[in-house]
Amino acid sequence: MIKRKTLYSFLLLLIGFTFSLQAQVSFDAKVSKKRLGLNERLRIDFIMNENGDNFIPPDFNNFLVVSGPQQSVNRSWVNGVSSFSKTYTYFLTPKSKGVLRIGQAQITINGEVYKTSPVEVQVTEAVKKPNDPDNIDYLTDENIHLIAEISNNSPYLNEGISVVYKLYFRNPISINDVQELESPTYGDFWSSKINIGRIQVDPRGQYKGEPYNEVVWQKVVLYPQKSGKLTIEPLTLNLQLSVPSNRRDLFGRRILKQGQKTITSGRRTLNVKPLPTSGQPENFTGAVGQFDFDVILSKDALKASESFQAKIKVSGKGNLNLFQLPEINVPNTLEVYEPERKETIKTTLSGTEGTVEENYTIVPQYQGKYPIPPVAFSYFDPKAKNYKTVRSQELLVDVYEGPTSGMTNTSPVPTSTRTPLTASEGAFRFIQLETDFKPVITKAFWMSKRFWLLFILPFVLLLLGYYINRFVIQKSKDSASNKQRLAEKLAKKYLSSAKKAFGNQVAFYEALERALHNYLKAKLKIETIELSKTKIAELLENKKVDKVIATEFIAVIENCERARYAPESEGSIQTDFEKASRAMAMIDRQL
């Protein structure tokens, strides 16, 4: 008897413990992964074991919402015990690298508010083969590619290379918009981007021998500044896509589904070779490429105290703005001023090409014949893989008038070690010392043509401004107001027609969808061709409309589209009508 009572007590205890477990409410946030690449997608589920209302998602400030919320409910009976779960699912794409935080979600269950714990995920650099949980689209992986074409993977130090970023895509994928999430950095390179102008699609592109649409996204010329293995960071793009779905419209055509995809070119590594040390000239200053060199005099015969210019000119293709030009050597009886540098350079895919000049102004103080010795310029030719030295011709300057110098030393010395000579007494005789003043005759401004022009001009401008405001600006405003009032009338008309057509599903949803579209045209001042769901969500967000209301409004539009092909119950029709009326009223209030 005692054993039977003990058994009954144990069973009662077990049943009470089971009911206490069932009565405990849980509301949790679960992510598909805690570590992902910049071009991967993250799935997050908000799960509750009791039915709740007024679900408020967190602010996904660090993410792009690809889709969601997707709601699912699961009920089951196991051995007479019921279980319930309700889930809100979002698919997200990270906006940046680092540790990103997802805040708290909120739900009301049985009159009490429950919140999830914040979640942190680690976002790394973009990976080559992204793995998006539960949302992989095979078509996008097979038909979209982003590559970086590098002209030379093993250049010399300071040898120019080109990098072209190309986007390839083909049917059945179409790209609606492209956003650059991460730009490559060139920390170990001197870089120069090439302006490509307007982005154009070339339908004759080839990728791995197959026809593709080709888009050249970016061109850049790089000059490595150190040797060894150098890394070029990846380019990452976020694409707005249109992908055909399994659904078809009344004419048998596939309905396009809007989606997003993040794609990366991947890291690229270059093996930069150092310049050879054997055979390197002493006057080598880092020039790498193919160049021509010359020294040009503006005149070779002049009077003392006149000036002439000596131009040191390097032209060709290479790192033109990354090396120093050699200095000119002149006799110590010539006064030389600091050179003026001039660059005429353009950058193409083949590298930087053009001309670099340094112009020296030289003033002789005494008459005589002055030799300008040859100037040597050395550079490394990466194609020939050796150093080359070019020398200018020896030049002679004849100063035929002026004072005679008692100095006999006319040997050239470097310009960096010269000291300026003191000017002679007659060095500045060409400067005029006497002035000749002449009276300036001015005409009276009063009652002149200029006076009357300035007097009448303000009145003309006022009349012109009144005309533009009265007949152009106000007319356009009245036209816009009339369109808005017409759209509001149509929205009320179709909403009334939808209410009268409760018994006819097709007529009801057609009228309801027209009402929603005309309402948006009136409130957001947009045309019907712009009313995609993505565009509607973006416009409502810009107008500071609450996310829950915007989501409910878009859900009604989706129900209208879905109801054309699948039958709905009278309860669903009544619910959709009430949701549409409520959403329009709430948006009205917030706007």
Whether 119 and 159 share a structural domain:
no
How far apart are alpha carbons 268 and 165 in whole angstroms?
12
In a domain, 6, yes or no: no
Tens digits of per-residue pLDDT, 460-481?
Answer: 999 998 888 877 787 666 665 6
Domain ends where: 204, 239, 272? 272
CB 379 within 8 A of CB 388: yes
What's the domain range around 361?
291-414
Whether 159 and 64 share a structural domain:
no
Whether 400 and 306 share a structural domain:
yes
Domain ends where: 272, 305, 336? 272
In a domain, 334, yes or no: yes
Domain ends where: 241, 272, 303? 272
DSSP string, 411-459: -EEETTT--PPPPPTTTTTTS-------PPP----TTSHHHHHHHHHHH
Who's near 43: CB < 8 A, 6+ residues apart?
31, 32, 89, 90, 91, 92, 133, 134, 135
Whether 246 and 319 share a structural domain:
no
In a domain, 387, yes or no: yes
Enumerate the β-bridge partners of residue 75: 84
DSSP string, 33-85: -SEEETTS-EEEEEEESS--EEEE----TTEEEEEEEEEEEEEEEETTEEEEE
In a domain, 538, yes or no: yes
What integer pLDDT is reported at residue 111 of this predicted model? 84
Whether 381 and 488 share a structural domain:
no
In a domain, 463, yes or no: no
3-state secondary structure of 568: coil
CB 354 within 8 A of CB 315: yes
In a domain, 422, yes or no: no
Amino acid at site 40: E
How many domains in the chain?
4
Is the C-alpha dihedral spanning 176, 181, 186, 190 positive or negative? Answer: positive
Tell me the three-class secondary structure of 464-492, residue by residue: HHHHHHHHHHHHHHHHHHHHHHHHHHHHH
The CATH number of the domain holding residue 101 is: 2.60.40.740
Whether 504 and 546 share a structural domain:
yes
Which residues of the chain carry a pLDDT beneath 50? 1-2, 17-22, 132-136, 408-409, 417-421, 423
In a domain, 302, yes or no: yes
Q: In terms of Cα–Cα distance, which of 212, 211, 134, 128 is closest to 167?
A: 212
The CATH number of the domain holding residue 583 is: 1.20.120
Whether 109 and 155 share a structural domain:
no
Tens digits of per-residue pLDDT, 25-71?
Answer: 888 888 888 888 888 888 888 988 888 888 889 888 888 887 778 77
What integer pLDDT is reported at residue 273 of this predicted model? 92
What are the backbone angles phi and psi of residue 309, rounded to the nearest 5°?
-115, 140
What integer pLDDT is reported at residue 515 of this predicted model? 79
Whether 509 and 545 share a structural domain:
yes
Whether 408 and 519 share a structural domain:
no
3-state secondary structure of 542: helix
What integer pLDDT is reported at residue 271 of this predicted model? 94
How far apart are alpha carbons 305 and 313 in whole angstroms?
25
In a domain, 285, yes or no: no
CB 315 within 8 A of CB 328: no
